[in-house]
Amino acid sequence: MHFYAVSARMLLRILVDHAKSRNRNKRGGEFQKIPLDEAVVVGPESDHGIVELDEALQRLAKQDQRKSELIELLFFGGLTYDEAAAALKISAATVHRELTLAKAWLHRELVARAS
């Protein structure tokens, strides 16, 4: 399961690096604010959301590392709840509870930054 955690982090780094390079001022990169639901959509039109999501995940990691890892494993690593639970050595019920809290926290952070 360590492989999946590393893979999820690497995929996130690749997406963030790509988004940052596309959003540089010399390439006309004005940042736009978008909701959390749209932040996880991958594509040229959503590059700016990836950078904001990464920054929010870094802030979340400072407060609660496990919640940040859970988001990475599920959304960037493609793991199921059961696989993420096994990787983090927690129950599936804890995955559900932690994910609910992490998504709410990220939503609040992204909305606050958008205003």
Query: What string of pLDDT tens digits covers the 115 residues of the chain?
Result: 567 777 777 777 777 777 777 655 554 445 555 555 555 554 555 556 788 888 999 999 999 999 999 998 998 888 899 999 999 999 999 999 999 999 999 999 988 887 7
> DSSP class of residue 72?
I
How many C-beta atoms lie closer than 10 Å to residue 87's C-beta? 20
- Provide the residue type at 40 as one letter: V
Tokens 């920054």 label which residue? 55
CA distance 8 to 29: 26
Residues contacting 93, CB < 8 A, separation 6+: none
Confidence (pTM)? 0.64
Q: Answer for the pair 36, 103: CB distance below 8 angstroms, yes or no.
A: yes
CA distance 108 to 87: 27
- pLDDT by residue (tens digit) across 83-111? 999 999 999 999 999 999 999 999 999 88
User: H helices within 26-79, ranges in order?
Assistant: 36-39, 47-63, 65-71
